[in-house]
Amino acid sequence: MKDLIKKLVEAWGPSGYEHGVRELIRQEVTPFADDVRVDPLGNLICRVGSGGKKIMIAAHMDEIGVMALFTEPTSGYLRFAPIGGVLQTSLLGMRVRFENGVTGVIGAHDYFGAGRTTASEIDNFFIDVSTGEGNAIEAGTPAIFWRTMEERGSRLIAKSMDDRIGCVVAIETMRRLNKQTPNELYFVFTVQEEVGLRGARAAAYGVDPDIGIALDVTSTGDMIKNQKMEVKLGGGAAIKIHDTGHVVPPAIRDWMVNRAQTDGIPHQFELLTIGTTDAAGIQVARAGVPSGAISIPCRFVHTTSETVDINDVDACVKLLTGLVGNSVNL
């Protein structure tokens, strides 16, 4: 599973430009799906089984990034806009990578002055992509934040764990099911989650599921002076109770909790006060879809050092496999 994680987290794919990641995932899932297609928005939709409950499982392929806006005529530096929830406090000195392989470095005005103690406005940052012979990037070109994956014991550290690790949970579940399920499952690898849950909304309208499940990362409450929440790294699969865009129906919550208890899967409860997931989009499709979420605990979300524990990832795979691999009575 680690090789798959490394492959996906190091892939290039900001919101709206998920084509490369989609192809990598397609290669992984095709042997384990009865049908694979791409919808008009770019979501990869994989059907497994037929009959029983129709369950949509969503994990988003996109990652945050930046879009080059304008080239300064004298210096050649690029001005840029964020793609998704970029943290300005993490930008200075950050490396970005464009699809053609060019690596840029983000600088800021006066970062040894006022910038040393104050987070600058986005307009104060720029990207250096100089080659010594000019500027290699045109305005209108997207980029991702760049860093390779590292390991520290059971901890994996990388950019875009949000939400390639959710994609890994979905892929590994498909592999373990090996097309054996009493339900009709739709594993949907969604686009443009970071800019407004756009892919999940469209896919849920098309799939028209009975139940929705989102797979995504969540913050942890085990850091010094961090937000107070029950989730901790290494504590197992996080079963969502609510977040800012989604209140999980009690029947869905109990279904997940009972399965975790029956199968002896380490689990904890997620009550998130910042952010939401694809489940918030799925739940309001058509006449409404009862939806829940299985979350992977993650430290340093929306940085290039997003950190997960491989044991939590495995717990999430076991929980999802148990949920969708058995008959559902809801």
Print pLDDT tens along the chain (330 aa): 999 999 999 999 999 999 999 999 999 999 999 999 999 999 999 999 998 899 999 999 999 999 999 998 878 899 999 999 999 888 999 999 999 999 999 998 877 665 566 677 888 899 999 887 666 788 899 999 999 999 999 999 999 999 999 999 999 999 999 999 999 999 999 999 999 999 999 999 999 999 999 999 999 988 877 777 889 999 999 999 999 999 999 999 999 999 999 999 999 999 999 899 999 999 999 999 999 999 999 999 999 999 999 999 999 999 999 999 999 998
133 three-class SS: coil
Q: Is 193 a catalytic site residue?
A: yes
Task: Check 63, 172, 193, 270 and give the catalytic one.
Answer: 193
d(CA 119, CA 52): 52
d(CA 36, CA 23): 12
- Decide: 15 and 65 in contact? Cβ < 8 Å: yes
pLDDT at 13: 98
Neighbours of 268 (CB within 10 A): 22
pLDDT at 115: 59
How deeply is 37 buried, as exposed, middle or buried, from its count of CB atoms within 10 A (0-12, 13-18, 19+)? exposed
Structure tokens at 43: 């979501």
Q: Which residue carries 């997960």 as its tokens? A: 308
Strands (E), the chain: 35-38, 44-48, 54-60, 65-71, 78-83, 95-98, 103-108, 125-128, 142-145, 150-152, 155-158, 184-190, 211-218, 237-243, 246-247, 267-271, 291-297, 306-309
φ, ψ at 34 (rounded to 5°):
-85, -25
Closest CA to 242 of 253, 257, 258: 253
Sequence-distant (≥ 6) Cβ neighbours of residue 86 within 8 angstroms? 64, 65, 66, 122, 302
Q: In this structure, which CATH number among 3.40.50.620, 3.20.20.70, 1.10.3720.10, 3.40.630.10 belongs to the domain 2-63+159-324?
A: 3.40.630.10
Write the DSSP assignment of 276-327 as a string of letters. --HHHHHTTSTT---EEEEEEE-BSTTSTTEEEEHHHHHHHHHHHHHHHTS-
End-to-end CA distance of the chain: 32
Angle at 195 between CA 18 and CA 186, to 5 degrees: 55
Angle at 144 between CA 88 and CA 9, to 5 degrees: 110
Q: Comparing 2-63+159-324 with 65-145, is the CATH topology the same?
A: no
Q: Where are the domains of the chain?
A: 2-63+159-324, 65-145
Sequence-distant (≥ 6) Cβ neighbours of residue 288 within 8 angstroms? none
**Residues constituting the chain:** 330
pLDDT at 225: 73
* Whole-Å CA distances, 190 to 15, 186, 216, 281, 283: 10, 12, 11, 11, 15
Q: What is the CATH number of domain 65-145?
A: 2.40.30.40
pLDDT at 113: 61
